[in-house]
A = this chain, B = another copy of it.
């Protein structure tokens, strides 16, 4: 990599003069007096070793050497200006790429709102959204494969990672509209003991799965799992089709499906927490912006 030791001011003067072909006007456009411009050009010509302009009485023209240099000078200046602007945008978090991992169960709740507001505030940022369950998110964060994670039931503490609860929601019972319990506004958990369950497979989200089965166990019965489905959408459809009932985070209500009813469960103390995760001391302004965009669960304040 060579080092062409030429002040950019000279190049700028050169380009402007090449456009104006008139020392007075060019100097005016540069906001300097005419003599300094003459000097700039002269110094540049000295460095190049050849005249760049032909000064004929009444008109200034580019020499062949000048014509050769002009496009390169222009490119160099614009490249630099653009690169600088881009670097500043990235540095200030107005541009760049943010890789977000998210748990599938959030695709219908926090994620859409989050993406919408973030996109609106930082349209220059490319969002790399990838669905992944909680454990892989944690390792991906540590490996710097993703910058931010959105997951359920975060670990309490972690040496490298930080978490913030975004939302804490109760569970609801998902029932076929024709189910006897659908007539009640509140469903005691124990009364679900006789109904077959439709759930996500445990592999899709162990924390949530275990929490749900734990709830049933606490109510005195092990859930009889009749069917697995990999998306909440499908779970609801199967429930609507009468294959069973389900227990799900309350935000599942967003899925409106004919023949499916959502009912509060009793006891209502159990809640799932949705959290953002990021690596401790991450300097990236994009992560900071995202954290600002998600806000926090009001109940999360100590």
Binding site for B on A (CB under 8 A): 1-9, 11-12, 15-16, 48-52, 54, 63-69, 71-84, 86-92, 96-97, 283-284
Contacts and interface: CB of A to CB of B under 8 A. Distances in A.
A91 B1 contact: no
Contacts of A86: 68-69, 72
Given A84-B72, A90-B64, A8 B5 contact: yes
A76 B79 contact: yes
Contact of A68 (B6, B54, B74, B83): B83
A84 B12 contact: no
Copies in the complex: 2
A91 B15 contact: no
A8 to B, nearest CB: 6
A51 to B, nearest CB: 7
Contact of A15 (B1, B4, B52, B88): B1
A248 to B, nearest CB: 38
Nearest to A72: B83
B48 A91 contact: yes
B49 A92 contact: yes
A72 B90 CA distance: 14
Given A5-B9, A15-B1, A90 B68 contact: yes
B80 A68 contact: no
B12 A1 contact: yes
A5 B80 CA distance: 10
A52 B2 CA distance: 21
B4 A7 contact: no
Nearest to A95: B68
A63 B92 CA distance: 12
B84 A6 contact: yes
B50 A91 contact: yes
- Most B C-beta atoms less than 10 A away, residue of A2, A7, A54, A82: A2
A8 B4 contact: yes
A70 B300 CA distance: 42
B69 A284 contact: no
B48 A88 contact: yes
- Most B C-beta atoms less than 10 A away, residue of A67, A90, A92, A283: A90
